[in-house]
């Protein structure tokens, strides 16, 4: 039987950073985090067994999170690098990884799932909000099941990414809509000092392209950003407003971004004239 390390309030400082004496960067056993501690922060977290954070407690690591068995959190799971579990990954709120997410069994989140790279699950994948990733998604790739037995379901509120293997069902979610998005966006950024493509949000009056989209969407935009990221929130808002944008557009220079936004605003204005003529 594996040793289980019980982490309580005493193992974290006032900022919820782990200060315990046990090395959890490569722990041979299981870790259970007590309830109602909020998002508990680790430099790195790796165990040979399972990781469980009880209700009201989440897991955040500056680097990766890895478990030989399952990972479960009553709140969110967040890693600067990858998240990997030999069994399932389940979070009461969101799951976010700087790189890939991989589980031997299923992946389930109470809200959104976001990965900087790809997502791979032996079973199905389910979340109520945005399911977003940069590379590819594979669901139901367990080598222990036949194709007929595979659980390939991918259920989400809204998909942003390419599913290479899996059966997708988008349940729908309410997304902010910006009417005449291109004209409103260009009017906002076409002011000296308003556009800074080097930072999502510099201040209330200066943002990058994605930051401005979130800002123009108001409270609903910022709530969506909180649930996912600035990049994916902006992509979702653009699409709900009638335009599917390439993510690379959010990483251009000020000059290139401004030129593209002007082009789209001009096209939108001309289209409106044609319709009303």
Question: Over the stretch 19-72, which tens digit does the pLDDT of each residue have?
Answer: 999 999 999 999 999 999 999 999 999 999 999 999 899 999 988 999 988 999
Tell the residue number behind the tokens 């000059």, with chain if given: 255
Which pLDDT tens digit goes with each residue over 98-138?
888 988 888 988 888 988 888 988 888 999 899 998 888 99
Q: Which helix (H) or strand (E) holds 57?
A: strand 57-61
Beta carbons of 184 and 214 less than 8 angstroms apart: no
Q: What are phi and psi of 139, to 5 degrees?
A: -125, 135
Q: Which of 96, 102, 100 is nearest to 123 (CA)?
A: 102
The SS3 of residue 18 is strand
Q: Which of 117, 161, 113, 120 is nearest to 138 (CA)?
A: 120
Q: How far apart are the first and last CA of the chain?
A: 77
Given this model, what pLDDT does residue 105 score? Answer: 84
Given this model, what pLDDT does residue 226 score? Answer: 87
| Residue 162: C-alpha distances to residues 78, 106, 117, 140, 167 (Å) | 22, 18, 11, 15, 12
Q: What is the average per-residue pLDDT within 92-96?
A: 88
Given this model, what pLDDT does residue 200 score? Answer: 96
Ranges of each domain in the chain = 4-170, 181-269
């Amino acid at each position: 039987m594996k040793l289980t390390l019980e982490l309580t309030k005493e193992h974290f400082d006032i900022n919820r950073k782990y200060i315990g004496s046990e090395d959890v960067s490569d722990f041979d056993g299981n870790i259970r985090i007590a309830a109602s501690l909020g998002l508990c922060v680790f430099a790195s977290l790796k165990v040979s067994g399972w990781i469980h954070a009880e209700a009201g407690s989440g897991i955040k690591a500056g680097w990766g999170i890895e478990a030989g068995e399952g990972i479960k959190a009553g709140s969110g799971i967040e890693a600067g690098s990858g998240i990997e579990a030999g069994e399932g990954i389940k979070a009461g709120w969101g799951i976010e990884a700087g790189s890939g997410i991989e589980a031997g069994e299923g992946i389930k989140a109470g809200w959104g799932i976001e990965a900087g790279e790809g997502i791979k699950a032996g079973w199905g994948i389910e979340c109520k909000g945005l399911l977003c990733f940069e590379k590819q998604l594979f669901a139901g790739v367990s080598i222990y099941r036949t194709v007929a037995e595979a659980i390939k379901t991918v259920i989400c509120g809204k998909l942003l990414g390419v599913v290479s293997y899996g059966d997708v069902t988008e349940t729908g979610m309410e997304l902010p809509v910006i009417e005449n998005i291109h004209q409103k966006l260009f009017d906002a950024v076409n002011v000296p000092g308003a556009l800074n493509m080097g930072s999502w949000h510099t201040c209330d009056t200066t943002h990058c392209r994605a930051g401005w989209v979130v800002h123009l969407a108001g409270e609903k935009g910022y709530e969506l950003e909180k649930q996912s990221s600035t990049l994916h929130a902006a992509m979702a808002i653009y699409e709900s407003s009638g335009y599917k944008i390439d993510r690379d557009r959010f990483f251009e220079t000020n000059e290139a971004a401004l030129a593209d936004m002007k082009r789209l605003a001009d096209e939108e204005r001309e289209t409106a004239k044609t319709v009303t003529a």
